[in-house]
Amino acid sequence: MRSIGEMARGSGLGVSALRFYDRAGVLAPAWVDPVSGYRWYEPEQLEEARVLARLRRAGMPLADIRLVLASWSGTDTDLVRKLLAAHLRRLEQGLSGARSEFSALRALLDHRENIMTSLRTAGVRLSVAASELAAALDTVRFAVSTDPELPMLGGVLFDIEGESLHVVATDRYRMAVAQAGVVGHDGSRVQVVVPAPLVDAMRALSDGGGPARFCVDGDRVTLEVGDRQAAGQCLDHDFPDYRRLLPAPGGRRALVEVAPFQKALETGPVHTGEEGGPDLSVLRVADDGTLTLCTDSDDDPNRIAVNREFLLNALTAGARDRLFLELGAPTTPIAIRRPDDEDTLSILMPVRLDD
């Protein structure tokens, strides 16, 4: 017989998904240890689990999945074929409807005035402490997107307003925001998206410290430190309005010692999630601020799953011995804030658990 872990690895469903489908009466184990409660499966159930994984990825409703599996091993496959055909029709109708709605949305976008154009083309010259700029870029660089389908996220937003420079990066699943003080700006808001290679060149230039001169002239951006310079074209794309995405302080908050917490993440329990997907760490914060790394056997409804690598990166980028973790509902972003500067933060999107 196969253990639940072997079934998870062989099917791509994940241990928690197998438990969920057992409770739902979709795929019950062949035997459950009466003492430990551990689930065991017959070898032929692996094929059913793989079928279940495919149906789930295709978005088939649970009631239909139950009927498909109930008929899968029989000689009459007519019901299975009809259920598959019916679901495919629903998907095609849904796609047709989505295309129609997207077409209408694109028409609306074509007729909207893009206020970001003036923000992007305005010129600016200012000074910023190189050390502050370097620290800010270190805080956000990990969140820059590498998705070629979303080139507007393939850089860092420089958002200048008043005496502040905010640098922002996001790849949709995580976002990081940091700030630095500036001198010599007239106060109007200017935004440019600096491509990642140029961001890295600016970061390297800022290692020496001292004042840095930042200049935007049309689509060209320049950083000068001493007699050295990094310059190039900014990205000709609009960046999302990150201010609308920032969570207000709140939720259940835990103050963590970063080094031991990173070690606990690296060596602690991991939720395998989808086949080929990232390793997940599952967190829970009690009302008293106690943070717990959950195991797969923990069914607490307040637990929140997060990409473990993303969380480790955010902790490193936080650049503090202690950081606040703020957890809300299982579907709301996780915020990582500095105790001494709560406007500098990272947010990570949670990952849906199967159960």
CATH of residue 83's domain is 1.10.1660.10
Q: How confident is the model at residue 129 (pLDDT cuts 50, 70, 90)?
A: very high
Question: Chain centroid to CA 344: how far?
Answer: 18
The reply to whether 140 and 225 lie within a common domain is: yes
Q: How confident is the model at residue 206 (pLDDT cuts 50, 70, 90)?
A: very high
Q: Is residue 106 part of a domain?
A: no
Structure tokens at 174: 């995580």
The reply to whether 218 and 123 lie within a common domain is: yes
d(CA 243, CA 216): 22
Closest CA to 285 of 319, 230, 329: 329
* φ, ψ (nearest 5 deg) of residue 339: -60, -30
Question: At residue 162, does pLDDT exceed 50?
Answer: yes
Structure tokens at 181: 């003080």
pLDDT digits (tens, 9 = 90+) for 80-93: 999 999 999 999 99
Highest-pLDDT range among 118-127, 138-147, 249-258: 138-147
Q: Is residue 256 part of a domain?
A: yes
Structure tokens at 304: 């929140």
The reply to whether 41 and 65 lie within a common domain is: yes
CB 125 within 8 A of CB 184: yes
CB 317 within 8 A of CB 140: yes
The reply to whether 122 and 229 lie within a common domain is: yes
Q: Is residue 105 part of a domain?
A: no
β strands within 13-130, DSSP E = 31-32, 39-41, 124-129
CB 122 within 8 A of CB 188: yes
CATH of residue 291's domain is 3.10.150.10
Q: How confident is the model at residue 120 (pLDDT cuts 50, 70, 90)?
A: low
Q: Is residue 294 part of a domain?
A: yes
pLDDT digits (tens, 9 = 90+) for 292-334: 898 766 667 778 889 999 999 999 999 999 999 998 888 889 9
The reply to whether 225 and 261 lie within a common domain is: no
pLDDT digits (tens, 9 = 90+) for 170-196: 999 999 999 999 999 887 888 999 999
End-to-end CA gap in the chain: 24
Q: How confident is the model at residue 109 (pLDDT cuts 50, 70, 90)?
A: confident
Residue 30 per-residue DSSP state: S
**Which residues, in sequence order, are bridge partners of residue 158?**
167, 192
Phi-psi region of 117 (alpha: psi -120 to 50; beta: other; left: phi over 0): alpha
What pLDDT was estimated at residue 112? 61
d(CA 286, CA 302): 9
pLDDT digits (tens, 9 = 90+) for 256-267: 999 999 999 999
Residue 274, Cβ neighbours under 10 Å: how many? Answer: 17
Residue 303 per-residue DSSP state: -
Q: How confident is the model at residue 116 (pLDDT cuts 50, 70, 90)?
A: very low
d(CA 270, CA 291): 16
Which pTM value belongs to this model?
0.72
The reply to whether 271 and 232 lie within a common domain is: no
The reply to whether 239 and 316 lie within a common domain is: no
**What is the total count of domains within the chain?**
3
Structure tokens at 326: 């703020």
Instruction: List the domain range (segments joined by +) for residue 75.
Output: 2-89
The reply to whether 160 and 171 lie within a common domain is: yes
**Which residues, in sequence order, are bridge partners of residue 190?**
160
Going by C-beta distance under 8 Å and a sequence separation of 6 or more, which residues neighbour residue 95?
none
